[in-house]
Amino acid sequence: MSAGGSVEQLLRQVSPGVHDTFETYESLLQALAGSRLWMLLWNGQAGSPDAQYGNMEVGGYGYAPCVTSAQELAASGWNRAHEVVGGRDIATALFPDRWGIWLNPHAPGGGLGIPWLDLRRIAVGLGQLPAGPLRISEPTLDIPQFYAQLSQNAHHTPAVRSLRRAWVQPSLGVPYLAIGMELYDNGPASVEAARRMMAQSVPAVPAGLPVSTVAMSDDYDPVAMWLRRQSRPFFDRDAHAGAAQGTAPGFGYGYPRPF
């Protein structure tokens, strides 16, 4: 079976926003990473300086329409130019500008949108980032020893400006405690100092509790986005914590509905 055929088979099995199809959706993302896509050009020809992808807006989010095979291109009736691009390549090109892709918009039911956050996962590596949409909320864990140890170690790590926390439930996989880390600079020495600080603090984590860190400087991370808007630091070297905008649980932060 070709990569494109695999994408098309999985595409027929995904129902947007239905929990039972999250695993199928994840398989679809994996297939897209190794597939080719026929990107529809609104202007210009493939490879020309004036080439411009088509665009569509759904639910306030931007998408570039594409089709999954030459057969689907013919079925779409598209009469302008197109460009054939690898799935990982187009993901890498589009996600920094917060653009997703929309697969086979001509298909019955209107096709399926892949939001830019999932393109980011394809570009970086699906195993490197949690599967969204994410449920993010304020942690309710009673682990004062860990927070105290972490704050003490942060106090002795001058590179660390502030620390925040969130409870993250991925669409697939186990929930985990996320520690948002703000550094004064993101140079190698500061990053290494922060890594050592976490390593020194991890022994205070209760057995079986997964903990992950997120860089507050990452403009594309949905957990960092939530932390910036919905939490206040539990460690703040400058002692100027801004007022939180509320800590109500958020579903799918950074993702449209559905997907």
DSSP 103-168: E-TTSTT--EEE-HHHHHHHHH-GGGS--SSPEEE------HHHHHHHHHHHHT-TTEEEEEEEEE
In which band, very low, low, confident or very high, does the pLDDT at 250 lie, cut at 50, 70 and 90?
low
User: Is it the case that residue 1 has pLDDT exceeding 90?
Assistant: no
pTM to 2 decimal places: 0.86
Q: If pLDDT is split at 50, 70 and 90, which confidence band does 258 have?
A: low
Total domain count for the chain?
2
* Residue with tokens 């947007």, as numbered in its chain: 16
- pLDDT, residue 255, reads 73
Q: What is the pLDDT of residues 9-37, one digit of tens each?
A: 999 888 765 656 788 999 999 999 999 99
Asked whether residue 123 falls in the same domain as residue 9, the answer is yes
Give the residue, 175 or 22, on which the prediction is more confident.
175
Supply the pLDDT for residue 5: 43
Average pLDDT, the chain: 90
What pLDDT score was predicted for residue 241? 41
Same domain as 200, residue 112: no
88 vs 2, residue with greater confidence: 88
Same domain? For 108 and 150 the reply is no
Residues 141 and 113 in one domain: no
Assess whether 120 and 199 both reside in one domain: no
**Average pLDDT score over residue span 45-69:** 94
Where a domain ends, among 73, 103, 128?
A: 128
* Domain identity same for 124 and 139: no
pLDDT band at 239 (very low <50, low <70, confident <90, very high): confident
Please check whether residue 247 lies inside any domain of the structure: yes
Instruction: Output the pLDDT for position 4.
Output: 41
- Which tens digit of pLDDT belongs to each residue from 110-151? 999 999 999 999 999 999 999 989 999 999 999 999 999 999
List Cα–Cα distances, 37 to 188, 198, 259, in angstroms: 37, 41, 20
Average pLDDT over residues 212-226: 96
Q: How far apart, in whole angstroms, are the C-alpha atoms of residue 91 and residue 89?
A: 5
Q: Are residues 122 and 181 in the same domain?
A: no
Residue 258 domain flag: no
Q: Which two three-digit tokens encode residue 214?
A: 């997120």
Whether 54 shows a pLDDT value over 60: the answer reads yes
Give the domain range for residue 81. Answer: 3-128
Q: What local confidence, expressed as pLDDT, does residue 244 receive? A: 44
- Of 9-23, 58-72, 88-102, 199-213, the range with the lowest mean pLDDT is 9-23
Say if 259 falls within a structural domain: no
